[in-house]
Amino acid sequence: MSLNIHKDDLLRQGSLIGEKIGFEKGAYQSKLETAKLMKAENCKVSFIQKMTGLSKQEVESI
């Protein structure tokens, strides 16, 4: 019985960690897409950084 409870807890923790990682990757991808659009509209790198939270290097590499 105790092993089943522990197994269920581990599965729940793994699922939560997976959801968190997926959310973070999606949020980062969204920032990159926004920065790409802003760059296409000739926005300044410093403005793109401010609006997206990306680093100068990340913006310039797009």
Residue 35's domain spans which residues? 2-60
Domain count, the chain: 1
| Pairwise CA distance, residues 38 & 40, whole Å | 5
Which of 3-7, 13-17, 31-35, 45-49 has the lowest average pLDDT?
A: 3-7
Tokens 């000739």 belong to which residue? 42
Output 9 or 4, whichever has higher pLDDT: 9
Identity of residue 29? Q
56 Cβ neighbours under 8 A, 6+ residues apart:
45, 46, 49
Give yes or no for residue 42 having a pLDDT over 80. yes
Give yes or no for residue 33 having a pLDDT over 60. yes
Q: Three-class SS of residue 32?
A: helix
Compute the mean pLDDT over every residue in the chain, rounded to the nearest whole number. 92
Q: What is the mean pLDDT of residues 28-54?
A: 98
